[in-house]
Chain A
Amino acid sequence: MKAPDSGRLFRYSTLLCLALAVIAPASGDIYLLNLLVLMLIFIIFASSWNLLALSGQGSLGHAAFFGIGAYASTLIAVKTGLSPFIALPLGGVVAAGVGLLIGLTCVRLKEWFLAMVTFGFAIITQTLVVSVLAPVTGGWSGLASPRLLSAAIPGNSFIEYYSILGIAALSILAIRALMGSKIGLAFAAIRENETEARASGVDPVRYRLLGFAASAFLAGVAGALEIHHFGYVTPDIFGIDISFLPVIYTIFGGLGTLAGPVIGTVILTIVSEGLMNFGLTFERFIIIGLILILVVIFLPRGLVSLPEEIRKRWKRHGDNPVVSQTKKE
């Protein structure tokens, strides 16, 4: 599968998306703004997971990096008095360091084995945070985290929103640049066929570790952003639901594409929020569950493949409308 989308069109559509995101706060709607902030954070988080998938790996424990970034950034900001804006990338660096360690453990593992081990790491991290690390992390009580911007600053919600928008845009551009570079080519080679990649001089271990570290860095930044937005961090941040969300968002939108995690996050958040505004509770999750099932059956490559699928069916008019079965990892 082609990963990076390139060309003029990409630039135009990105600009349009950005323009929409930039004018959104003009509505003055704080609820919308808060929703968008959470959405942007999850776009970063889902994109980080997508990046790992692009390097031919998978994780069911991405909450570990999300949480480590959050705790590290909070602790750095609290202990040193640095602005959260400076603590944020440092939190990401700590997450990347841990990601590197986990990646080292996992180099020989693939697929389900890798999935389960990463899942286990999230649980082990949580257990450590509430036990041996409790004197620093506050254990189950958690820690108050400085806001990205003090509530005393006028218009703080707006500045916060634009900062996070900037960070999200920057992250996506960084992933795009990475995928367009030599590294991206190496990722693709490993993803397609590891033996061949090795034969052509690509060291899979090195690139795998790089993928893990880069993905963990972004996940850590996303976690730190969420926590500086909430103003409080608790060990619940390592929860299973947090690990599964980027998986859901990315695959829903389109695995391995730059737009996939963005579209997935935006649409699923809106659907969920919209259904909630109709007062649906359990029914909301039944509907979302059915949507997920239908999408994976009829659009196994995610929502981004929708136009292509429509076109295919158009062409095959009269044919048996079979969903294309693309082999994909």
Chain B
Amino acid sequence: MNYKQYTIILGIVLMGVILAAGCTQGATQPAGEIKIGVVASLTGPVSNLGNGMWDSAVIAANEVNAAGGVYVKEYGGKVNITLIPGDDQSTPAGGQTAVTKLITEDKVDALVGGYSSAVTYAHEQIVAQYKVPYVVTGASSPTITHRTDIDTSYIFHHCPTTDTYGKYTTEFIDQVIRPAINAKFNFDAGRPLRLGIIYQDSQFGQGVYSAVNNTIHAENLNIQIVGAQSFKMAESDFHTTLTAIKAAKPDAVYVAAFTNEMVPMVTQARRDVGLNTFFLAVENNDAPAYYKGLGGYGNYSVIESRFSPYTVPTGTIADAVAAFKTPYTARFGSPPDMMGASTYEGVRIVAQAISDAGTVDKASVQQALVNLRMPQMIEAMQNGVITFSSNYHESQFKLYMEQLVWNPTAGETRPQIVWPENLKAADFVVPDWYTPGSG
């Protein structure tokens, strides 16, 4: 290498540094504007979920701004919400960079979003350091607000956790499926339900699995886990796993998986392995791709839900959901999913908290979030209010169970709410092809 080479290389490096410095000059903040950073995976393997989160946040901001904005006492009037995207690129490093930029360059007043626990852990620490109110709406691990190595007081979790998933589904199995099977096949009423579990080998899957175990023991339910199998994330061939589960002769199979795994699994179970049983899916699958992918094989399977593209619990929620779904579908061409739903609510929650605080001062907004009591919007909450628990800052979702029933007009199955009693639209059905386990 000679002199010339080095000058040129150094020139490039120098230019690069200048470019980077230039690029990082954030916009100056006009007085009286609320800036919310949306942390989402806009690129990378989970970009489909991340883009749904961002789109939903846009709908929420538009809705608030169309109504004149958020009333902030400090400003003496209503101000608009401006959203700023932070692409975590589905990686911890990407999330850290994005969040640092949102906080230190864009000077956001609050953060919403955050998908994947591994990604969220890495940037939570910055949020804790800079004390910015953060409503996490995508990551499902309870650890997000339970960890003790950092100060999580500014972090609020508005998304059901794996503990919640496991609890509701297990209770449903005990209260509805077990009696229904025992009645249909004239079994002794005391016969325990034989449950098979298939879970993704990840924090999500293991979290659901342990929640099922914990619920069975804590509530002393008459459920016997007869087989448990796990699989590697992004797996698409489940034949052997299903064959092993079938050999355990279960009455029902609870699966903790993502849609791209759930669709081939149920298809292969019903079509190839002849596992004619109830499949129960976690709420993260309740999206159009799931119904389309399953086709007829989804018939009579069960899914847990907090937000469904095709059904709404009756009551006030129905109107609110329409107010979200209609503009979303019109603008983006397909209905929103549940990650989008909680992110939509996340933006509205932050707006409400800022309004309650009367200022964008972060400590006051944090206090407002702690004290928040907001009527439920598009997802059903415990007691109909959104409020964050005092110990772990978790909002309490009320999940419901849907059974998928074939709809000839759609050429796909459609969900019907079958549990709990106060929300249900139809009775749980045990179809004729269903074969109970034995052992």
Contact = CB atoms under 8 A, between A and B. Distances in A.
Q: Within 8 Å by CB, do A and B touch in the complex? A: yes
Interface of A: 5, 9-10, 12-13, 16-17, 20, 24, 27, 29-32, 34-35, 38, 130, 139-142, 144, 146-147, 151, 226, 229-232, 234, 236, 241, 257, 259, 263, 266-267, 270, 273-274, 276-277, 279, 281-282, 284-285, 303-304, 306-308, 311
9 contacts: A9-B2, A13-B10, A31-B101, A140-B203, A231-B150, A259-B1, A279-B85, A282-B47, A285-B43
A64 B101 CA distance: 29
A284 B44 CA distance: 11
B136 to A, nearest CB: 14
Task: Name the residue among A9, A274, A276, A284 with the largest chain B CB count within 10 angstroms.
Answer: A276
B392 interface: no
Contact of B24 (A32, A141, A142): A32
B188 interface: no
Contacts of B97: 31, 34-35, 38, 273
A229 B121 CA distance: 12
A255 B204 CA distance: 40
Nearest to B101: A31
A31 B13 contact: no
A226 B91 CA distance: 13
Interface in B104-130: 104-105, 117-118, 121-122, 124-125, 128-129
Interface residues of B, number: 52
B118 A142 contact: yes
Contacts of B9: 13, 259, 263, 303-304, 306-307
Given A31-B105, A230-B121, A232-B122, A274 B20 contact: yes
Contacts of B105: 29, 31
Q: Give the 7 A-B residue pairs with the shortest CB-CB distance, closest first.
A: A144-B149, A232-B121, A307-B5, A234-B118, A231-B125, A230-B122, A30-B104
A270 B121 contact: no
Contacts of B16: 266-267, 270
Given A31-B24, A263-B13, A273-B23, A307 B121 contact: no
A270 B97 CA distance: 12
B21 interface: yes
Contacts of B104: 29-31
A270 B1 contact: no
B3 interface: yes
Given A38-B97, A273-B97, A311 B122 contact: no
B8 A307 contact: yes
Task: Name the residue among B125, B128, B150 with the largest chain A CB count within 10 angstroms.
Answer: B125
Nearest to B44: A241
A217 B150 CA distance: 29
B46 interface: no
Contact of A20 (B13, B87, B92, B96): B13
Contacts of A16: 10
A230 B94 CA distance: 11
A115 B284 CA distance: 37
Contacts of B185: none
Contact of B121 (A32, A35, A142): A142
A201 to B, nearest CB: 30
